[in-house]
Structure formats: C-alpha cells, structure tokens
Structure 1
Amino acid sequence: MTESVLPGEDPATRPVENGGRRRAARSKRRSGCLPMLVAVVLFGAVLAWFARGAISDVRDMFSGPEDYDGPGTGEVMMVVDPGQSVRSMGDELEELNVVASADAFVDAAAANSRSTAIQPGTYLLREEMKAADVVDVLVDPGNIVTTTVTIPEGFTVAQIVDRLAAQTDFSKKQFERVLARPERFGLPDYAKGNPEGYLFPATYAFSPADKPVDMLAKMVSRYEQALGDNDIEAVGAALGNGYTPEQVMTVASLVEAEGRGDDMPKIARAIYNRLELPNGGGTNGLLQIDAAVLYALGTRDTSKLVAPLSELTDSPYNTYRYPGLPPGPIGAPGEAAIQAALNPAEGDWVYWITIDCAGTTKFSATLEEHNQYDAVNGAEC
C-alpha cells in the first residue's frame, strides 16, 4: 500500500515513527519464537536421552549381564571359603576384576552342573576372564593351588622343621616360634609342651593361605586322626602296668624305628615285656634300641654307634645305659606304629633281630634262642 504525502512535505524528511514501530513489532515477533525453539531442542534432547537409555535397557535385557571376552591377563589368587555361596563368589570375583559382573558369573555357574561341587581352596585366575571360563577353573579341584610337603615316618621335629622351611615360603625361625607356643597349634595337654612324636608323618597339601601355625595344626590333627577310635589315655592305662599317653607314644616311636608291617605289634609286645617282666625278661629292663642312642647323639648316622654303646652318651635316651622308657618319643610314628603300641600282639618275646636284607625279623623269649638267630645274621644290607 502507498503512503500519502502531505502538500509541501518532503518525503525524505518525513519522521519514521510508524515504520519504526512496524519494525519493532516484527522484531518482537521473532524474539518470541526463540525461547520456544530452545524448548523444543531441549525437549528433543531429553527425549533422545531417555530413548537411548530405554534402547540400552532393552539391549541388556536380551544380551545378558556384562561379561568379558577373555582370556584375561595377569594373575589373581582367589580363595573359596567352605560353604561360600555362588553369589558371594561372584561378588568377590567382580571386586577382583576377574569377571565383568557378578551376574555373569552366577549365570555361568547356573549353566554348569558341576558348579554345585566347587571345593574350598585357593585358585589361580586372571583379570578380565570370561565368566564361563572362571567357572571351568573353579569346578576342577585339580586347579586348587597347593604346596605339597611329604614328612616321612620317624622324622624328628628338627627334621620336620627343616623340611617345611625348605619347601614352603617360611623360615625355620617362624616355625620354631610357633612350636614354642604349643597351645596355638593344638598340641594335646598330655604331650607336656613337647611336639616330638605328635607332628604326624604324611603328605600334606598346604594352600597359599596356610601359615606355619596352620601347617603344624594340620599335622597334629592328622595325628589325632591316626588314633582312630582309641582313647589313648584309657587304652594306655589299661595296658600292662599302665602307661600315660606320652609313654604310649614313646613306645610307638621306638616301634617305628625298629619294625615294619606285621612285625610292629610283636615289637611293641617285646618292648612292653622288657618293661613289665621281672628283670625285663633277662634284659635288666634295658631296651637297647640303637635309634634312641642316635636320637641322643642328634644324628641318624649309624656309623656313630661304636661299642660300648652304653658309654656313648649320658643322655636318658641312651637305652643301653638306662633301663625303662626314654623321656619321650624319638620321632614321629606312623599310623601302623601307633596302632601297634595301642594294640600289641600277644606273646612272651623280649628279643628281636632282623636276619636278612629282606627284613625278616625273628622273635624270641630267651637269650639262648636269640643268640641262635644272631649267629645266622650275616647279611650285609
């Protein structure tokens, strides 16, 4: 529409208020749309954020819990405790970064029928393993990490400590400190603080979590297992003249040193007869056991046994010098020797001698008969 010009008015000098108002009005209309546009953009962003979360939730619903691809890196020790639940294992494994999520481990365990038989122990794993691979490790008891130590029959405490220190990560001093406090590892009261004879000889599988006190406690526990149903205090009191548990174990240690197999109950009987018969059945009550003399000398070297043996040492363990039992066990008897001391054979023997390299042992009740066997004992073994 054309604007009118008043007569004599120069258009170039006409005020622009009306036009300015129109421009202002148009400007106001544009600025009113901007907040709406911003709101629309923000709403779209929020909607997109929620949509992305929903899509992620749906994806997780169908893809399952987070899991690593494996096979993993590094080394991680994980201890499964007795009675520990699968969920608890999963939580611990997630914390150790072995698995990506506890749920992944729980699902993998549920899919493996052997997971109900996971055994307590220490297992070597890796970080960032696939949960199913972790379950495969834990269901195999062969994967339990252990240190195997074998203690032979007849070993003394000193020899046992040397063996443990050599084959574990602990020093002799650490074991000796524990031995100085026998109440810590369950030594029976009747041992009177002396562990000799009560650290049972066997093959042990120690876990990385086992400390010296745990190892020694397991050995004492195994000794108590070797007693079986026998009440050593009651059985000892009912034997012959009556024996304390410490004396029964001393007999067992002597039997371990002197015999083997089926001969052990007979040797136990011969020892008891020397202790109980008048004049020791002709032996003056002297047990005359070489191994006890060697124990007194602190060696197992039989070349040290030079006659007269009664003069080698004044130790009460010298059974050629002092009648009766020595003060305590001379080593760790095995189960057969312990049972022989608790259940000796019936017989009147007071002498025994091994006559050949096959280990044939002859028993006799008289010195005359014993000397006859000794006369044919010429085997060099």
Structure 2
Amino acid sequence: MTDLFHESDSDVGSDGHEDTGPSDRSARAERRRRAKKRAQRQRTIFTFVAMVLGLAVIVVGAILLLRPLFSGGGEDPSSGPSDFPGPGVGSVEVVVSPGDSGAAIGQTLVDAGVVATVPAFVAAYNANADAAGIQPGTYTLMQQLPAVDAVAALLDPASRSDSSITVPEGWRATQIYERLAEQLELDVADVEAAAAEVTLPAEAEGAIEGWLFPSTYSIAEDAEPLAVLQGMVDMTVSVLERNEVPQDAWHDVIVKASIVEREVSREEDRGNVAQVIENRLQQCNDSGRLEMDSTLAYELNKPASEITQSEWAADTPYNTRVIVGLPPTPIASPGESSIAAAANPPAGEYCYFVTVNLDTGETKFTGDYQEFLAFKEEYQQWRESNR
C-alpha cells in the first residue's frame, strides 16, 4: 500500500498544482514578461507627461516675464493702448522744461493725457530727426494724440502758448538787457535795475557779466525781468555742475570760457584756444600775458580793428597785452562747449594762433613763434585782398 501512494505523489508538482509539463511553464513566463513590459511602458508615459508639463510651465513663465519688455516698459496692456489712434480731443497746456529728455517730455505728456505711453512717445521722438529741436516752453496740445502727432505738434511754433527769448553765445550783458527789454516791452533801465537784484553765486564776485547763460528761454505773459535773469544765472550754475567744475574754479573757468567764446568762430577751435590760454598763463610766451584782443575790445566796447595804438598801450584791467593773468571779469556769456573746453583744455604746446580768414573763420595754431609770424603775414594778405 505504501508503494502505491508513492507512485501517485510523483505526478504532483512542487507548488501543489498539477504540472502539465513544459508548455505550462512557458505560458507563465510569457505572462510575467508582458506584465513587466506593461509596467515599463506606463513609467515611460508618466515621465513623458511630466516633461511636457514642466516645459509648459517654463514657456508660460518666460512669456509672463518677457511680455513687459515688448509691451512698453512694464506697463499693463490692459491699462490702455500703447498709442492713441487719434485724431485727438480737447486741449491741455503742458510745460517742457529746459534740459528735458525725450523720456521726460513723454512722461509730462502722459500725465496730461496727450499721449498714451512714454515708450510710444520715445519711439516717435527718436524717429523724428528734428525732435532734438523741441524748445522749452508752454504748449497747448490736443489730448489723446498719436505719439508721432504729439512730436510734430511740439515742433510747430503755432503750438506755443508763451513767448521766448534766445540769448546767443558770446553776447555781453548789455545786449541781453536790450533784447529782454524789447521782449517784455520795458525800458532797458528797468531790466538793468532787475539785474542788480539777481542772486549771484559768491564765485561771480558781484559781476553778472558772463553768468547769463546763452539759450532759449520760455517767458510767460506776466514774466518779470528779475525771474528771467535769475533763470539764466541758475542755468550757468547747472552747466558748471554738470561739467563737474570744482566750485572754487567757477570764476576762472567762466572768465576763460568767455574769452574762448569771443576768440573763435568754429566749434573745433574751442579746445585749442583754451589750450593757448592755459599755456600762456604758464608763461609759454615768457610773459604770462594772454595778449588777447577780445579783452580790450570788451572794455572799450568796439571792434579790435578800431582800437588805436595809444589804447593798445593803456594799462587797464582788460588790456591783456599789458597785464599779467586773467581780466577781472568774464567778457561775454559762454556756451557749454566753451565752458567744457576751459574746464578741461587739451594738453599740447600751442602758444599762438591767428584767424587767417575772417569769412570762413579758419584759424591756425602753433607753438613756434616764427610760424606764428608767418600766420600773421597770411592774415595780412587776406585782409589786403578783402579790404
């Protein structure tokens, strides 16, 4: 009986199930392989979806980050259009201040409702070659204008709602008084009285000459001469500060710059004349005298060509053929380029110069005295030919 039971057990598999043979084992292996492949495919799909979602997050973030850069300096597009379609409505007065940049003017116009955005105005300003000629002053403009129309309106004299006065470079104070009196319909004596009340920097040493900055100034209908003149002086101080001129050098720089202004007619010569002034003060001509015709011409208030021999020999504070060093005051109102040249004259050996052609302003410079004499002869020949 025991042998019979042992023979029956030999047909039962080790897992307690009846083993049907090699084909059953192969089926089970195939099922396991398919299950493993299915799990791997699910992991791959999950990874791909995660990558797509991550990329989408990056793209959306980049769009949100960069959108302000392309929509006008961080402005919310929903707050209004980047530019008005026009043609404009109503009117408003706006003030362009001296020294305003395109962006500053744009902000003024945005605040007044003239243009929609600063970037739109700046783009129109930069696209118009004449925009740099927009003058300080008060303008009456329509609101809700396209930016290009706003720039055009600021360039149109008809848009000005005030008057203005232009002070040319190289003018002396008396000339400025006369023009201001004419503009304000006053007597020159009234303007001169106002000039005496102007607050000058201590470095001016009480003399207003040279401190009335040459520029174009806006004048309101009820403007007082004192306010206009004070604005000119304040502008000179601003220019000195902008050019980083040390305050203790203001007086001498303005005096030198005024001489530069009166001695040259070409922009490219300003630095060279400033160099000559500096070198003569350092006695490149063995005397320390400036020997500039313009200083005595200022004192006598007549052209250098009309000064007599006795006047050239006179020992006066402005006769720099006689005195050593600078004259006591400026001799004209210098512009910014002359101030910059006087504050920082280029290094070099120039000690002499002659304007050899009064029509073109051609001026020749040298550090050699004999060459200087040749330049003088060239001028004399030009003068004889153009008497």
What TM-score do the two structures reach when normalised by structure 2? 0.57
- Does residue 155 in structure 1 map to residue 165 in structure 2? no
Aligned to 2:353: 352
After superposition, the Cα gap between the structure-2 partners of 1:135 and 1:282, relative to the gap in structure 1 and judged at 3 Å, is closer
Which runs of structure 2 are paired with 1:256-295 in the superposition (5 Å)? 256-259=261-264, 260-276=266-282, 280-295=283-298
Aligned residue number for residue 363 of structure 1: 365
Mapped contact 1:201–1:332 kept (Cα < 8 A):
yes
Compared CA separation, residues 287 and 338, structure 1 to 2 (3 A)? same
Aligned twin of 1:10: none
Using the size of structure 1 for normalisation, the TM-score is: 0.58
- Secondary structure in structure 1 of the residue aligned to 2:221: coil
> What is the CA–CA distance in structure 2 between the aligned matches of 1:267 and 1:320, rounded to whole Å?
16
CA distance in 1, matches of 2:303, 2:377: 25
Q: Please tell me whether the aligned partners of residues 122 and 144 of structure 1 are also in contact (alpha carbons under 8 angstroms).
A: yes
| Superposition pairs of residues 3-14 of structure 1, within 5 angstroms | none
AA aligned opposite 1:367: Y
Segment drifting more, 362-371 vs 316-325: 362-371
Aligned length: 248
Other structure's SS at 1:204 match: strand
- C-alpha distance in 2 between matches for 1:157 and 1:169: 18
Counterpart residue number, 2:114: 114
**Paired amino acid for 1:267:** V
CA-based RMSD of the aligned residues comes to 3.1
* Alignment-derived partner of residue 253 in structure 1: 258
Q: 1:176 to 1:321 in 2, by over 3 A?
A: same
Residue correspondence of structure 1 range 66-81 to structure 2 within 5 A: none
User: How do residues 220-259 of structure 1 correspond to structure 2 at under 5 angstroms?
Assistant: 220-227=233-240, 229-233=242-246, 244-259=249-264
Relative distance call for 1:115 and 1:161 in structure 2 (3 A) is same
Q: Which moved more, 1:194-203 or 1:313-322?
A: 313-322
C-alpha change, 1:143 and 1:190, in structure 2 (3 Å) is: same
State how 1:91-106 maps to structure 2 within 5 Å: none
Find the counterpart in structure 2 of residue 188 from structure 1. 201
Structure 1 contact 79–120 (Cα < 8 Å) conserved: no
Pick one of 162, 169, 172 that aligns with 2:188: 172
- Whole-Å separation in 2 of the counterparts to 1:153 and 1:327: 20
2:203 maps to 1:203:
no
Question: How far is the alpha carbon of 1:135 from its aligned partner?
Answer: 10
Distance 2:189 2:116 in 1: 41
| Distance in 1 separating the partners of 2:94 and 2:352 | 54
Kindly state the Cα deviation for residue 204 of structure 1 after the two structures are TM-superposed. Answer: 2.2
Out of 153, 158, 162, which is 1:146 matched to? 162
Q: Percent identity?
A: 31
1:333 and 1:151 map into 2 onto residues whose CA distance is: 11
Q: Greater CA deviation, 347-356 or 214-223?
A: 214-223
Per-residue Cα deviation, 1:23-77 (whole angstroms, up to 9, x for no partner): xxxxxxxxxxxxxxxxxxxxxxxxxxxxxxxxxxxxxxxxxxxxxxxxxxxxxxx
SS of residue matched to 1:346: coil
Cα distance in 2, alignment partners of residues 301 and 319 from structure 1? 15
Moved more, 187-196 or 331-340: 187-196
Gaps of 5+ in 1: 1-77, 83-111, 125-132, 238-243
Q: What secondary structure, in the 3-state scheme, does the structure 2 residue paired with 1:272 have?
A: helix
Can you give the 5+ residue segments of structure 2 that lack an aligned partner in the other structure?
A: 1-91, 97-111, 118-135
Q: In structure 2, what is the equivalent of residue 64 of structure 1?
A: none
Counterpart residue type for residue 183 of structure 2: Q
- Give the counterpart letter for 2:298 in structure 1: Y
